[in-house]
Amino acid sequence: MTKYVDKDLKVNFKNSIPICYSYSRNRKIGILGGSFNPAHIGHIHITNTALINLGLDEIWWLVAPQNRLKSSLDMENFDKRLSYARLLTKNISYIKVLDLEKKNQLYATYKTVNFLNQRTRKVKFIWLMGSDILDNLNKWLYPNLIAQNIHIAVISRPGYLNSFLNTSRIPNFGKKLKTIKSRIIFHKKKPVWVFLKNKLLSISSSEIRKTKTYT
């Protein structure tokens, strides 16, 4: 077990899981999962939007070992994607880039959510996703089960600004909070979700791969 000290908060890392103990408060942590193929400034932008609007203490980037909804033909190997994400965020103390899913063989979001809830009971988690995920959301395994076990925040992405406002296309994510009430989501019974609008950045991992600037 290694130790990491961040200002006044002590964190233990065991099996790639930051086990936080701060008895004066319940910590609020955002979970941003994805291929990060590669990680880029857009991911940081989404992270900052969630951090500010939700009042989070930190955000964990969970680099997925694989993605059954994406082609493996242009997918960089896991170690390279993980290393690049850590390099990109090395000076951002509130972002932790983790290989939790690979080390614990978690290949579906609902399994990751259950895993986190079972091992970090003092922490309040919220799952973060870009609104562009709507196109594949119906292909996720047990999306309703995910919503029942973790709070959800959807952040606007270029070209998908209003996608999540059309609730008829969304699985049963439960009650939708108004954006101005986003910080009280942790006090609401699940399932519940909130849509966060932000200044849109026209950048994506696929565009970066096309330019071949990711090496």
Domain boundary assignment for the chain: 11-211
How far is residue 20's CA from residue 32's CA, in Å, rounded to a whole number? 18
How far is residue 27's CA from residue 215's CA, in Å, rounded to a whole number? 36
How far is residue 157's CA from residue 154's CA, in Å, rounded to a whole number? 9
How far is residue 18's CA from residue 105's CA, in Å, rounded to a whole number? 17
- pLDDT for the residue numbered 139: 79
55 pLDDT higher than 50: yes
59 pLDDT higher than 90: yes
How far is residue 11's CA from residue 63's CA, in Å, rounded to a whole number? 20
Q: In what order do the strands lie in the sheet with 2-6?
A: 2-6, 9-14, 17-20
- CATH classification number, 11-211, choose in 1.20.1070.10, 3.65.10.10, 3.40.50.620, 3.30.70.1150: 3.40.50.620
- Strand segments, DSSP code E, in the chain are 2-6, 9-14, 17-20, 28-34, 58-63, 95-98, 124-130, 151-155, 175-177, 192-196
97, 61 contact by CB (below 8 A): yes
Q: Which residue has the higher pLDDT, 11 or 157?
A: 157
Of 33, 211, 203, nearest to 115 by C-alpha is 33
Per the prediction, the chain carries an average pLDDT of 79
**What's the pLDDT tens digit per position in 104-151?**
889 899 999 998 888 777 789 999 998 887 767 777 889 889 999 999
- pLDDT for the residue numbered 136: 75
How far is residue 201's CA from residue 2's CA, in Å, rounded to a whole number? 36
- pLDDT for the residue numbered 120: 73
Which of the four pLDDT bands, split at 50, 70 and 90, describes residue 205? very low
